[in-house]
Amino acid sequence: MFPLRRNRRLRSNESIRSLVRETIITPNDFLVPLFVVEGKNIKEEIPSMPNYFRLSLDLLEKEVKELWNLGLKSVLLFVKVPDKLKDNKGTEAVNVNGLMQRAIKTVKNAVPDMLVMTDVALDPYSSYGHDGIVENGQILNDETSAVLAQMSVSHALAGANFVAPSDMMDGRILEIREALEDEGLINTGIMSYSAKYASAFYGPFRDALDSAPVNIKNVPKDKKTYQMDPANRFEALRETEMDIDEGADIVMVKPGLCYLDIVREIKNEVEVPVAVYQVSGEYAMLKAAAEKGWLDHDAVMMEQIIAIKRAGADIIASYFAKDVVKLL
Residues annotated as part of the active site? 196, 254
Tell the smallest beta-carbon distance from residue 2 to ligand PBG (Å): 51
Report the Cα 172 to chain-centroid distance in Å: 17
Cβ partners under 8 Å of residue 210, min gap 6: 80, 83
State the residues that interact with ligand PBG by CB under 6 A: 119, 121, 123, 131, 166-167, 202, 205-206, 223, 279-280
- Shortest Å, Cβ 256 to ligand PBG: 10
Q: Under a CB-based contact definition with an 8 Å cutoff, are residues 220 and 127 in contact?
A: no
* Separation in Å, CA 1 to CA 6, 10, 272, 301: 13, 21, 49, 41
**Contact indicator for 247, 174 with CB cutoff of 8 Å:** yes
> How far is 49 from 263, CA to CA, in rounded Å?
25
Nearest approach, Cβ of 300 to ligand PBG (angstroms)? 18
Smallest distance from the beta carbon of 34 to ligand PBG, in angstroms? 12
71: left (phi over 0), alpha (psi -120 to 50) or beta: left
Which CB atom, from 35 or from 57, has the smaller least distance to ligand PBG?
Answer: 35
Measured from the CB atom, the residue of 73 and 206 that comes closer to ligand PBG is 206
Which residues define the annotated binding site for Mg(2+)?
239
Alpha helices in 183-318 (DSSP H): 203-209, 234-246, 260-269, 280-291, 297-311
Percent helix, strand and coil across the chain, each to the nearest 5:
45, 20, 35
- φ/ψ of 205, rounded to 5, equals -60, -40
Instruction: State in angstroms the smallest separation of the CB of 53 from ligand PBG.
Output: 14
CB 278 within 8 A of CB 304: yes
